Amino acid sequence: MSAPLLCEGRVVVVTGAGRGLGRAHALAFAAQGARVVVNDLGVGLDGTPDPDSPAARVTEEIRAAGGTAVAHDGDIATTEGAASLVRTALDAYGRLDTLVNNAGFLRDRMLVNLDEDDWDAVLRVHLRGHFLPLRHAAAHWRAETKAGRPPRARVVNTSSGAGLSGSVGQGNYSAAKAGILGLTLVAAAELARYGVQVNAIAPAARTRMTERTFAQTMAAPGSPGAFDAMAPENVSPLVVWLGSAACAGVTGRVFEAEGGRITVMEGWRPGPTADKGARWTPAQAGETVRGLLAEAVRPAAVYGATGGVL
């Protein structure tokens, strides 16, 4: 007897699902019985228009494999685009159970060369592109709860190691991905009353955005070690589980996922502290901070950094 499908009957929206991680997630959800809304605006790596329609292509892949999917090519970083994303799920399937926020692109520059347009564009698609779909999905789930139909809803947001530790040459991207972590924590706290669980992943995989960083690491086909550790499909099983009813009770968490490794990230926690009970002088504050830093755990290195930190 085959194992039951983890997402049978669930309706799942995946943004940025035309390529890379999003495509892998959409295919994996469909393989587990979900009906999938495949969103992708169809733009280049830097967010400029692309005549291709990757959402339609992935939708056809799912259907060819016997799954159920519908395409959505709206801009989810706009109010209308995000609203129409939720409407597409409701019009096509009558419900919405899971939102996977994944869309993004890069415009890398060192800070001294990073102009306002590149800053705004990256924060727009990553951070606003998470907020607006989440806002519209949450409004639907709140209405369902008030109507006596409490959902078992799930949201999976996509951050990055750059959001956790920073990345040289990616000030805009790092700031946006760090913002997504804050948004995840707030959403998990605010939406719990409506039956919504919200988590985030910080994946490492080979996609259009990282293909120069992560080369293919798979051994020769048929060999005992034939495992491509950087394949985006390695991240999707965790995302599917977080997007299913099976993850009941797991919310407000951040997970790193890379190859066959899953790590629970523990975030900011109070470390060494000192309380004088009165105002410090600058010299006293500095001397005290030096002592506290000597006791503290050193932070992870910023990606691409050559120097150390105190």
Active-site positions read 160, 173, 177
Query: 209: which residues sit within 8 A by CB, 6+ positions away?
Result: 20, 45, 104, 105, 106
Asked if 228 and 204 touch (Cβ cutoff 8 Å), the reply is no
The sign of the dihedral angle between the CA atoms of 233, 235, 238, 241 is negative
Specify the DSSP class assigned to residue 303.
Answer: B
Between the alpha carbon of residue 94 and those of residues 35, 127, 130, 133, 214, the distances in Å are 11, 28, 23, 17, 40
